[in-house]
Amino acid sequence: MYALVDCNSFFASCEQVFRPDLRGLPLVVLSNNDGCIVARSKEAKALGIPDLEPYFKQKALLEKNGVHVFSSNYELYGDLSSRVMTTLEGFSPDIEIYSIDEAFLSLKGLGVDLPEYGHLIKNTVYKHTGMPVGVGIAATKTLAKLASHIAKKSAKCDYVCAIVDVAAWSAVFRKIPVNKIWGIGRRLTKQLADNRIYSVYDLMKQDARQMRRRYSVNVARTIDELNGIECYGLEQAPEPKKQIFSTRSFGQKIMDCTELEQSVSQYATRACVKLRQQKHLVKTVSVFASSGHFVEQPYSRSMVIKLPIATNDTRQIITLARHAIRNGIFRKGVRFARAGVGLIELQPERPEQLDAFSSEQPLRSKQLMGVMDSINKRHCPIVFASQGLQQNWKMNRNLKSPAYTTRWEDLPRIKT
Amino acid sequence: MLIRLLSSKIKLPFFSSKVAAGFPSPADDYVEKGLNLDELLIQHPASTYLAKASGDSMTGCGIFNDDILIIDRSLTPLHGDIVIAAIDGELTCKFLNLRLKQLLSANQRYPPIHINAETDLIIEGVVISSIRRHK
């Protein structure tokens, strides 16, 4: 059994955690340098504001409807993400951080009432962090993803959906288009339509072996997964991820700083390989480590670091990750059970898609050393990260919310 | 997470066994990790947020303008707790009086806020500490 926990309109919800006045209002978040709309609150979706559209094209519509517009604030998103993930670690000893706003939890052998557990997860995450989430529970990761889709769409579900008996869901599956399935992209959707496969139900009734010959092994696996036969364990997926997280639980607890540094170096290396395969550069990195929840004094720390210039150079990410461990995350006496590196803000490698600030040459070693030196000099690398940010975001600072949780001068003000 | 920053510079080695003449205690091998303010002030890092107080309605309980508030969202608010409430979309810090169904200030100049079914009120978290800088 797997649970997929997925934050509702994550970036938009992050903007509402410290702004109760904005909850329930239409709100959008823009990509790098305010290029595109990348997140919409439920209310903004209801207004018909399209996703992934250039901001300038939608500006008039947004203004007319009084939609609140924010530039992306990756320090805030990274910090809230790690709070959500840490909270989720309390619900399963086996979790996979799938993206900045999604995690798979293995529920194997927990012996819990599934819908009830789903509601407990949802309510706890909201209470502890302020982040609204949906929970989908099912026998396979593909079905869990589908369940989380249903959880959000159907008002009856109240953001929690457990698919226990697949056969009982036929009527619902007939109504869900095939492109809502994990790993079924646009091209495949078209090909499937040519063979009159339109809905989730249509696909799950196909013969997996035949479909393997006709399409690919991934399509066959998806069919199996839809029928409750597990093909993807934790850390396995049919498609590239939106953010790249490389994280693992240790076989043996780590108490030594150098060892912890070595482990994150490994994860950084793995993440960078995927990054280059996807032909992307990374702009914001998060590094984290924790003792796991199932100990007497749980300890967990994360750090979000913004690079002055986007990179795909493994060495640079390793150096950053090790500095984060040494100068902030590691703590003497803590038995670390888990660590990881997340590449959370990605941008395409191709220069024509880059923005004005990052269209420069790849990060030069001199600048890198500058980055490292500042981290060394300060006992608080986060302060450094936010300063790097100030230079990089000159153009659109007016739309960016404060780094409420990572910068002293940005703490939320509360009226007394 | 900025919580860690509270304590980054403090390192006060602390010996848990008494100093004795003669043989050193085997326990002296275990120098403690030092005092850490996070440990004292924060029980649940993932659900603890920091904020800054703005105003004088809570001076009676020692919360002054610009003090740092440490807020734990995971705690269930109890009668008598200092809480962060969102009232009509605005964050405010008050005493929670469950018996009178009121939010109370710690300053006579501020009247109580009555809570009824129509009040748009959400308790966001419980203030577990406040920090004042004297220099």
Q: pLDDT for B64-122, tens place per residue?
A: 999 999 999 999 999 999 999 999 999 999 999 999 999 999 999 999 999 988 888 99
The residue in chain B having the minimum alpha-carbon distance to the alpha carbon of residue A17 is B124
Question: What is the pairing mode between strands B102-104 and B48-54?
Answer: unpaired
Nearest to A400 by CA among A77, A183, A178: A77
The first and second tokens of residue B50, run together, are: 């920091």
Task: List, in order, residues 6 or more apart from B20 with CB less than 8 Å away.
Answer: none
Binary contact (A328, B92; C-beta < 8 A): no
φ, ψ dihedrals at A115, nearest 5°: -60, -40
Looking at the complex, report in whole angstroms how far the Cα of residue A19 sits from the nearest Cα belonging to chain B: 7
Q: For residue B50, which residues of chain A lie inside 8 Å, CB to CB?
A: 405, 411
Indicate the range of A90-104, A187-201, A223-237, A343-357 predicted with least confidence: A343-357
Q: Is B132 on the interface with A (CB under 8 A)?
A: no
Q: Are A80 and A38 in contact (CB under 8 A)?
A: no
CB within 8 Å: A333 and B33: yes
User: Which of A164, A192, A340 shows the shortest CA–CA distance to A266?
Assistant: A340
**8 Å CB contact of A414 and B2:** no
Nearest CB partner across the interface for A414, out of B33, B88, B93:
B93
Answer yes or no: is pLDDT of A255 > 80: yes
Contacts of A390 (CB under 8 A, 6+ apart): A397
Report pLDDT digits (tens) over A146-162.
Answer: 999 999 998 899 999 99
CB contact under 8 A, B54 and A301: no
Nearest-CB residue to B52 (from A23, A382, A414): A414
Q: Per-residue pLDDT averaged across A270-290, rounded?
A: 91
Instruction: Report whether pLDDT(A66) > 90.
Output: yes
Looking at residue A26, its pLDDT comes to: 97
**Structure-model confidence comparison of residues A288 and A298, the more confident one:** A288
Higher pLDDT, A33 or A144: A144
Mean pLDDT of A5-18: 97
Q: What is the pLDDT of residue B133?
A: 93
**Sequence-separated (6 or more) residues with CB below 8 Å from residue A236:** A141
Q: What is the pLDDT of residue A347?
A: 85
Give phi and psi for A99, each to the nearest 5. -155, -175
Indicate if the alpha-carbon torsion angle A398, A403, A407, A409 is positive or negative.
positive
Q: In what order do the strands lie in the sheet with A37-40?
A: A37-40, A27-30, A68-71
How far does the CA of residue B66 sit from the closest CA of chain A (Å)?
Answer: 9
Distance set, CA A338 to CA A88, A266, B38 (Å): 14, 13, 20
Write A356-364 long-range contacts (CB < 8 A, 24+).
A356/A33, A356/A395, A357/A33, A357/A392, A357/A395, A358/A32, A358/A281, A358/A283, A358/A309, A358/A310, A360/A309, A362/A309, A362/A311, A362/A312, A362/A313, A363/A307, A363/A308, A363/A309, A363/A310, A363/A311, A363/A313, A363/A316
Query: Tell me, what's the pLDDT at A92?
Result: 94
Predicted pLDDT at B39: 86
Residue with tokens 């780590």: A254
- Collapsing DSSP states into helix, strand and coil, what is residue B46? helix
* 8 Å CB contact of A328 and B50: no
pLDDT band at A131 (very low <50, low <70, confident <90, very high): very high
**pLDDT for the residue numbered A208:** 94
- HSE-CB at A143 with a 13 A cutoff on CA atoms is 28
Active site residues of B: 57, 94
| B45-60 average pLDDT score | 96
Q: How far apart are CA A288 and CA B120, in angstroms?
A: 37
Q: Average pLDDT for residues A32-53, to the nearest whole number?
A: 90
Please report the sign of the dihedral spanned by the C-alpha atoms of residue A304, residue A307, residue A311, residue A314: negative
Considering only CB atoms, which chain B residues are within 8 Å of A19? 89
Q: Rounded to a whole number, what is the distance in Å from the CA of A213 to chain B's nearest CA?
A: 48
Report CB contact under 8 Å: A332, B51: no
Q: Report the range of poorest mean pLDDT among A101-115, A338-352, B118-132.
A: A338-352
With 80 as the cut, is the pLDDT of residue A281 above it? yes
| Distance, CA of A193 to CA of A209 (rounded, Å) | 19
Contact A415 B52 (CB under 8 A): no
On whether any CB of chain A is under 8 Å from the CB of B110, the answer is no
Q: Is B134 helix (H, G, I), strand (E, B) or coil?
A: coil
The more confident residue out of A104 and A236 is A104
If phi > 0 it is left, if psi is from -120 to 50 it is alpha, else beta; for residue B35 that is beta
CA angle A31, A32, A34 (to 5 degrees): 65
User: Is residue A177 scored above 90 in pLDDT?
Assistant: yes
- Burial status of residue A113 (CB atoms within 10 A of its CB: 0-12, 13-18, 19 or more): exposed
Residue A331: pLDDT above 60? yes
Helix (H) or strand (E) run with residue B38 in it: helix B37-41
Please, what is the average pLDDT of chain A? 87
Contact B54 A382 (CB under 8 A): no
Paired tokens of A121: 């997860």
B135: exposed, middle or buried (Cβ count in 10 Å: 0-12, 13-18, 19+): exposed
**Closest-CA distance of chain A to residue B38, Å:** 11
Cβ neighbour number for residue B28 with a 10 Å cutoff: 13
- Residue in chain B nearest A406 by alpha carbon: B2
pLDDT-wise least confident of A177-191, A334-348, B9-23: B9-23
SS3 call for B99: coil
Phi-psi region of A133 (alpha: psi -120 to 50; beta: other; left: phi over 0): beta
CB contacts, 8 Å: B73 with chain A: 127-130
pLDDT at residue number A237:
85
Percent of chain B with pLDDT over 70: 76
Q: Is B133 on the interface with A (CB under 8 A)?
A: no
Q: Higher model confidence: residue B85 or residue A293? A: B85
Rounded to two decimals, the pTM is: 0.80
Whether the CA torsion A385, A321, A246, A91 is positive or negative: it is: negative
Judge whether A38 and A30 are in contact, CB under 8 Å: yes
Give the number of beta-carbon pairs within 8 Å between A and B.
107
The rounded distance, in Å, linking the Cα atoms of A260 and A139 is 34
- Residues A107, A138: Cα–Cα separation, whole Å: 9
